[in-house]
Chain A
Amino acid sequence: AQKITQTQPGMFVQEKEAVTLDCTYDTSDPSYGLFWYKQPSSGEMIFLIYQGSYDQQNATEGRYSLNFQKARKSANLVISASQLGDSAMYFCAMREGARANAGKSTFGDGTTLTVKP
């Protein structure tokens, strides 16, 4: 069974500094996707970044980058130059790649990030 582990229930970072949110995963499927979602206090879920299991390079999207270490089964999110608006809950998720698995996702329990001014 797939499993996502986020070991940091809460994190603090000073504005304009970088922060890394940890995520480890477990799967026996060779094809999978790793995702990060942001959930601000308003409650909606916002897709941030994606990394495929066969991708050789780490994904980047603006201030977000995904530090993908396949051998260690880790997919950490790095947010550079933190802003007050980055304060939110962040979820790591893994999506089964095989079509037979219907693209179901497994989510971690989340990390609450607080950016301090």
Chain B
Amino acid sequence: NAGVTQTPKFRVLKTGQSMTLLCAQDMNHEYMYWYRQDPGMGLRLIHYSVGEGTTAKGEVPDGYNVSRLKKQNFLLGLESAAPSQTSVYFCASSGETGLYGYTFGSGTRLTVV
């Protein structure tokens, strides 16, 4: 059982380039989330999804787009990368609200130069 798999693990982008981060979970979870973690800080919610075909904005959505075409996959896109988007990105999933902790992916370290 892989849990939550994020790809890629590392990426360096030039300003203005685009990329897509992939998150895949095999636990049949309804809820999926994208967070970013900046140095010395906690995690901040970018976007989330409560089921296939649904997405919603979190705390820091600007500059990102997401899609959840299949229940097991949650994609995070950067259309035009900026240095301010240099961060570690975590995907997480959960089966139900409230009572369960998240299962996290291993993270993607993104550097925008």
> A91 at interface (Cβ–Cβ under 8 A)?
yes
The smallest beta-carbon distance between A45 and chain B, in angstroms, is: 4
B3 to chain A, nearest CB (A): 11
CB contact list, A95-114 vs B, under 8 A: 95-99, 101-105, 107-110
Query: Is A52 a contact partner of B40 (Cβ separation < 8 A)?
Result: no
If A104-B48, A105-B45 touch, whether A35 touches B98 (CB-CB below 8 Å) is no
Q: Is the CB of B42 within 8 A of A110?
A: yes
How many residues of A are counted as interface, with CB atoms below 8 angstroms from the partner's CB atoms?
A: 29
Could you list some 26 contacts between A and B, CB below 8 A? A33-B98, A33-B100, A43-B106, A45-B90, A45-B92, A47-B102, A47-B103, A50-B100, A50-B101, A52-B98, A91-B42, A93-B43, A95-B97, A95-B98, A96-B97, A96-B98, A97-B97, A98-B97, A102-B50, A102-B56, A105-B33, A105-B45, A107-B43, A109-B40, A110-B40, A110-B41
Enumerate chain B interface residues (CB-CB to A < 8 A): 31, 33, 35, 40-45, 48, 50, 56, 58, 88, 90, 92, 94, 96-104, 106-107, 109
